[in-house]
Structure 1
Amino acid sequence: MLLATAGMWDVATRSGANLVLLRYVGFCSGFEIDSDAWATLRWRTPLRYLAVLALLLAFAAHWASVRRECGTVGRVIVRVSVLAISLVHGSGALILALELGVDRNCRTVLGELGLLHGVRAFLIADIALTLAALCALTAVRTPGRVPRRRLRRLARSHWFKRTVAGVAVGGLLCFLPVADLGSGPVTGRDACGTEEPLKLRAELAFLCDARSSFPTMPDHLLLAYGRRQCAAYPGAGVKVSLIAPICPPAARQWAMELAAEEAEIERRNAANQAACDQSRHRPRIRPVAVARDLLWSEIGLEAFEDHELTSDEDPPLHHDLVGSTPGHLSVGASAEFRICVTTETYRRRPPVEIKGWDRVVEIGYESPTGDMVIVDPMSGPGELTNLAFLGEGHYRVRVHYREPVWDQDLPQHILVMVFPGSSDRVIAHKL
């Protein structure tokens, strides 16, 4: 018994780290049954020490009781210790069987780790102390107390046969429903190609849409789930957009919702464009060029020139409106509303206009390439033209900003005037 305990000691202590690693790789049903509090109790190193210490003390008690010719006391102590250790550390094999037999996710985790390594990592920490306890129990058994003849009589008895048959039938009845949860093919996102899901075959379109929510569920189970959702339509909790490819009633509703959404977008675009057209700027002197565009940017507007002097970092905004470094101009705006942008270039300094604007700030800008186009960084070039009309060199940039009409959901306005100038001075005409 002492040799068995010592032999299991190193294996049990070294495998704990592997099993804890496996625990955090994936979420398996066996681990859910093996609750966090219970697992924390089992994997605490002091408890492992106590289990080994309990076996050593049980061995000492048994040896002392044999020396004093009262072996019954020692056997009782050993059996109590074995029972306690088995209750705490004897569930590993049962949980592993549940993982391999039922939970496909856990089989995937074990496969990624390597099946042999995964099983060893799962079992050894538990099985080590369990085997040591069983060895101790074997060491203190009383010879001749269970003769072979009695075992044969037990195996031939009618009640034993009925019990075994009942357990077998009950096990089949319990596990047959689980057989339907077996693994099957899983269509990945790569099988969807570059086409829009709704253009694909109905079932494949559904699988492609559903993979973001159910990444590992087998195809046949996922399709069964979708059909149950279709049968429950239009009940509460049914996601119309998800089941539309395989559910004609939901597809009709989803098409109506998409059409209504597109109509609302077109209506808002028309209203925003009308607001831009009604508030067009009238220059006080003749500009070189004028360009207008209706944009919607989540991070503001910028002009970025591809040159070694250009920095990738956004320049700091002066008065939360405009900032510049060589080759990089940045203009701030609200991300919640569209932007009516107007750009004007002049050969000489235009008059300052502050009436009708909420903020007007003027700064210097150096163009290293002569290619200065304001764009939305997220969508790329629009209708605006090059503002560095004299080529590379130094310019002055005056930015005007008008806030959106918040209650009417109408756009914000930005007017950018660019003209030659060598100064880098920041001038706040209106704040």
Structure 2
Amino acid sequence: MIVAVAGMWAAAPRTGGNLMLLSQPGFCSGFELDSSVWAILRWRTPLRYAGVFVLVLALVAHWVSLRRDREPIGRAVARVSAVAILLVHGSGALTLALEVGVDRYCRVSLHELNVLRGVWVFLSADAALALAGLCALAAVRVPRHRLRRLVGKPWIRRGAAGVAAGGLLCFLPVADLATGPVTGREACGSEEPLALRNELGFLCNARRVFASMPDHLLLAYGRRQCAAYPHMRVDISFIVPICPAAARQWDTELAAEEAEIEQREKTNQAACDRSRHRPLIRAVTVAHERMWSETGLEVFEDHTETSDDDPFLQYGLVGSTRGRMAIGVSAESQICLSVETYRRRPPVEVKAWDKVIELGYESPGGDMVIVDPMAGPGGLPNLAYSGKGHYRVRVHYREPVWAADLPQHILVMVFPGDSRRTIAHKA
């Protein structure tokens, strides 16, 4: 009994969570059993902390019963405690049998993890607990002559034979451990798997999650989820290629989403067109572009001739160093961007703008193109119309209309000037 208590205490910090390594919620029978019934018993009853308190109680009860010549009482308490420990904390073998024998997906998951390593991970934390329970049972074991007399009874032999026969009948139908061909994603070529409404499309799509499950097992699992539609236990995209009902829902939702995006694009383009700037003096170049940017807009010329300093965004809008310029934008709204170049300084316009900042920029290579650094070159022209040298840049910014989901506006004016002074016309 003392050995059993020591084993339980050593294993206490390691109990719980073994099944998570081999199975996923919503897929495996053993995981669901372990995370429901056993989890409640482990953590919300006296059986928590690997049941060490219950086993100590059994040890004390057995010792007191021996001292008072009431051995059957102590033996009964110890047996009940040990059986409870084995059921609740030593359930690894039971749940492993469920995973391997009942649910084919979990069997394949175990195979993918390497069977020996998977079984060890599955059972290692429960091994000490099961051993402790068995030690407790051994400590209060029945003398051999009584045990032989009990086992020799006819009803025990008939019951054991019935259990063995029932186990064979239950597990033989699902004992097909044969592997089969595995279709790789390369078999789909450049086709989008969800566009192939057949078994090949399903296999190619499912290989994103199940890399080595045999085709026949994977198809059986997919058809089982399709039969359960709309109460399947996987994402709808998983079964779209082989499930017509799911495919219809998928296509309907996709069409609605595309229509919504198209309508939003038209609304944003109309907002850009309505607010398009009209130069007050003759411009050399005028260009417009509608874009998204998650990191802001940037000018970055030849790195061999560009400063290593990062541009500091003055007034949260614009900053520049030699060969580099950065413009801050909101990543949650589209941008209506307009660029204009002039031969002479244009009039200052602040009406209808939230910020207007003017600063100097030195172009070492005459390649002043505003781009989204994450997207690469766009369709905007080179603003260094006179080649390399010094320019003045005036950046205008208007915030998006969040309530109407309308884009933000940026107007960049470039004109000659050697000054490096930053001027906040409106900030």
Q: Normalised by the shorter chain, which TM-score bucket?
A: 0.7 to 0.9
Whether the aligned pair in 2 keeps the contact of 1:19 and 1:121 (CA below 8 Å) is: no
- The alignment's TM-score, normalised by the length of structure 2, stands at 0.72
Name structure 1 gaps, 5 residues minimum.
Answer: 66-71
Measure, in 2, the Cα distance between the counterparts of 1:312 and 1:26.
50
Letter in 2 for 1:396: R
Matched residue SS, 2:94:
helix
Residue-by-residue CA offset, 1:332-365 (whole Å, 9 max, x unaligned) = 3444543321212234432212244343222333
1:58 match: 62
Residue-by-residue CA offset, 1:149-172 (whole Å, 9 max, x unaligned) = x744x23xxx66765565456656
- Paired residue total: 408
Whether the aligned pair in 2 keeps the contact of 1:42 and 1:89 (CA below 8 Å) is: no
Measure, in 1, the Cα distance between the counterparts of 2:35 and 2:280.
74
Q: CA deviation at 1:416?
A: 0.2
1:121 match: 124
1:137 match: 140
Letter in 2 for 1:376: D
Q: CA deviation at 1:11?
A: 5.0
Alignment identity in percent?
46
Measure, in 1, the Cα distance between the counterparts of 2:49 and 2:125.
16
Whether the aligned pair in 2 keeps the contact of 1:12 and 1:126 (CA below 8 Å) is: yes
Matched residue SS, 2:140:
helix
Letter in 1 for 2:410: I
Measure, in 2, the Cα distance between the counterparts of 1:246 and 1:143.
61
Change in 2 beyond 3 A, CA 1:366/1:78: farther
Write out aligned runs for 1:28-427 (5 A): 28-40=31-43, 42=47, 44=49, 47-48=51-52, 51=55, 54-55=58-59, 58=62, 62=66, 64=67, 72-102=69-99, 104=106, 107=110, 111=114, 114-115=117-118, 117-118=120-121, 121-138=124-141, 141-142=142-143, 144-145=145-146, 148=149, 151-152=151-152, 154-155=153-154, 163=159, 167=163, 171=167, 195-200=191-196, 202-209=198-205, 219-228=218-227, 243-248=239-244, 251=247, 255=251, 258=254, 262=258, 265-266=261-262, 268-270=264-266, 272-273=268-269, 275-277=271-273, 279-305=275-301, 307=303, 315-318=312-315, 320-403=316-399, 411-427=407-423
Measure, in 2, the Cα distance between the counterparts of 1:416 and 1:16.
67
Letter in 2 for 1:380: G
Residue-by-residue CA offset, 1:206-245 (whole Å, 9 max, x unaligned) = 3555677999995134321453267x6xx99998766543
Whether the aligned pair in 2 keeps the contact of 1:370 and 1:391 (CA below 8 Å) is: yes
Whether the aligned pair in 1 keeps the contact of 2:34 and 2:95 (CA below 8 Å) is: no
Change in 2 beyond 3 A, CA 1:199/1:174: same
Q: CA deviation at 1:121?
A: 1.0
Whether the aligned pair in 2 keeps the contact of 1:9 and 1:128 (CA below 8 Å) is: no
Whether the aligned pair in 1 keeps the contact of 2:296 and 2:372 (CA below 8 Å) is: yes
Measure, in 2, the Cα distance between the counterparts of 1:30 and 1:301.
54
- The Cα RMSD (Å) is 4.6
Q: CA deviation at 1:418?
A: 1.9
Residue-by-residue CA offset, 1:271-306 (whole Å, 9 max, x unaligned) = 544554555433344444332222233444222345
Letter in 1 for 2:94: A
Letter in 2 for 1:134: L
Measure, in 1, the Cα distance between the counterparts of 2:78 and 2:233.
52
1:68 match: none
Change in 2 beyond 3 A, CA 1:31/1:248: closer
Residue-by-residue CA offset, 1:21-51 (whole Å, 9 max, x unaligned) = 7366355234224533422354527x53773
Measure, in 2, the Cα distance between the counterparts of 1:132 and 1:395.
87
Name structure 2 gaps, 5 residues minimum.
Answer: 24-30, 101-105
Measure, in 1, the Cα distance between the counterparts of 2:130 and 2:112.
20
Measure, in 2, the Cα distance between the counterparts of 1:145 and 1:259.
76
Q: CA deviation at 1:101?
A: 3.4
Matched residue SS, 1:388:
coil
Letter in 2 for 1:223: G
Measure, in 2, the Cα distance between the counterparts of 1:254 and 1:83.
54
Whether the aligned pair in 1 keeps the contact of 2:58 and 2:77 (CA below 8 Å) is: no
